[in-house]
Structure 1
Amino acid sequence: MSEKISVNSASKLSKAITALTAMYRQSKFVVVSMRPGKDRTLDQNALWFALYQRIAQMTQIGDVEDARRYCKLHFGVPIMRAASEDFRHGYNMALLNLPYEVKLSWMGPCALFGPDGFPVTRLFNRAQGIAYTDRIVAEFSAKGVVFTDLLNEVAA
């Protein structure tokens, strides 16, 4: 049995300790992994989809999936390459020397990496997700894409 608990209050800390104790008593062997910070949220996923839709509507980039692929490759990959040696190594081995069109296509659904394409945004922590959003907004705002309504919705 695997369980994930986010601890953000005294009661959640107590729940985590109780669960860990019960698991240990049952199996006498438990693997624990901890890290500070928050997970990225479903709200981020919804915002990204809205950004991709707006980019597709207001540019010649293509459809929503084309916008998603572009953003993953141009903004997500550099964030992850800078943040993770394992990611950088995997990306370099699998995609670095391939033609641009192949890299771009593998960011979306494909036989090799599945329906979500090469793993990029699903690996983000919350801060990396924020950086990704900021980079998308900065580049496409400069090209005339308006995001203020979407960003105001999230802030509300």
Structure 2
Amino acid sequence: MTDKISVNCQARLSEAITCLTTMFRDKKFVVVSLRPGKDRTLDQNALWFAMYDRIAKSTEMGDVEDVRRYCKLHIGVPLMRGEDPEFRQGWAESFVHLDYEVKLRLMGPCAMFGPDGFPVTRLFNRAQGCMYTDRIVDEFGPKGVHFADLLSEVAA
């Protein structure tokens, strides 16, 4: 059992203390790791979902989840195949032979991989996350989807 709590307000601090107290009372042994700073994945995820939403509203690709699946498969998977030999080998052994529709479906919520679908973006390090963002802009910017306002919020 592992819990991760980002503390960014008094309520979240209280939640963390309660969780720690409960776990200690129940298990008697608890390992605690602390580090200062924001969880960068929360910021990146928020940006990506805002981008998916913008793409969905600006194109005829479907809803946010359709766009998310598309981006994971068409942008995230090639990025990871190029960056990670183990991912590339696993993809080749397990997924390359599947029909396109199956691959696309597995990128979203499914029984096999849970609510987030096949792990792609959650495997990214910071640099890969930035490349993913840039590639989304590169693909959809020329199609008339504008992201300047979303990207300027991240830079601020």
Please state how far the C-alpha of 1:130 moved relative to its aligned partner. Answer: 0.1
The residue number in structure 2 matching 1:120 is: 120
Structure 2 counterpart of 1:57: 57
**TM-score normalised over the length of structure 2:** 0.73
CA distance in 1, matches of 2:101, 2:85: 24
Number of equivalenced pairs: 122
Partners of 2:104 and 2:88 in 1: how far apart?
Answer: 17
SS in 1 for 2:105: helix
Q: What is the SS of the residue equivalent to 1:62?
A: coil
Structure 1 residues 87 and 40, CA gap change in structure 2 (3 angstroms): farther
1:96-115 to structure 2, matched below 5 A, reads 96-115=96-115
RMSD over aligned Cα atoms = 1.9
Q: Equivalent residue for 2:46?
A: 46
CA distance, structure 2, for counterparts of residue 139 and residue 127 of structure 1: 18
Relative to the length of structure 1, the TM-score reads 0.73
List gaps (5 residues or longer) in structure 1: 3-38
Confirm or deny: 8 A CA contact 1:75 1:132 kept in the other structure. Answer: yes
Unmatched 5+ stretches in structure 2: 3-38
Question: Quick one: distance in 2 between partners of 1:81 and 1:111?
Answer: 24
Give the residue type in structure 1 aligned to 2:55.
I
User: Aligned runs of 1:78-93 on 2, under 5 Å?
Assistant: 78-93=78-93
Structure 1 residue 117: Cα displacement: 0.7
The structure 1 segments of at least 4 consecutive aligned residues displaced by more than 6 Å after TM superposition are none
- Could you tell me how far 1:41 is from its partner in structure 2? 2.8
Q: What percent identity do the matched residue pairs reach?
A: 71
